[in-house]
């Protein structure tokens, strides 16, 4: 059975994900909703049939988790203050 973007997007919608999968050259990307804030939202694939419906949903979940981890790391890193060089004064 041939897969379509419409079928993948219907499944994403049914999951309550406020995103859609779109074709962009030799890759696909998730756009809309939370994915607009993601650093990585692309999947390298020449056609929609390069993966099954389940694999596309797994890609969505993988990218969602990856981006959550990236954001947690970024927030944790911003809380760490670098030491002041010797002889510097506080403002």
Name every residue whose Cβ is closer than 8 Å to that of residue 49 and which is 6 or more positions away in sequence.
2, 3
Above 60 in pLDDT, residue 88? no
| pLDDT average, residue stretch 9-30 | 96
Q: What pTM was computed for the model?
A: 0.80
Evaluate whether 49 touches 28 at the Cβ level (below 8 Å): no
| pLDDT average, residue stretch 18-47 | 96
pLDDT tens-digit series, residues 57-73: 999 999 999 999 998 98
Cα dihedral 63, 57, 24, 29, rounded to 10, equals: -30
Give me the chain's average pLDDT, please: 89
33: left (phi over 0), alpha (psi -120 to 50) or beta: left
Q: Which tokens hold the place of 80?
A: 């760490």
pLDDT the model gives residue 91: 47
Above 70 in pLDDT, residue 50? yes
């Amino acid at each position: 059975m041939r897969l379509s973007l419409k079928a993948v997007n219907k499944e994403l919608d049914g999951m309550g994900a406020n995103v859609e999968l779109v074709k962009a050259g030799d890759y696909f990307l998730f756009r809309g909703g939370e994915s607009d804030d993601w650093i990585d939202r692309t999947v390298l694939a020449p056609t929609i049939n390069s993966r099954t419906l389940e694999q596309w949903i797994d890609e969505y979940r993988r990218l969602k988790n990856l981006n959550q981890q990236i954001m947690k790391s970024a927030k944790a890193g911003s809380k760490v203050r670098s030491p002041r060089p010797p002889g510097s004064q506080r403002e």
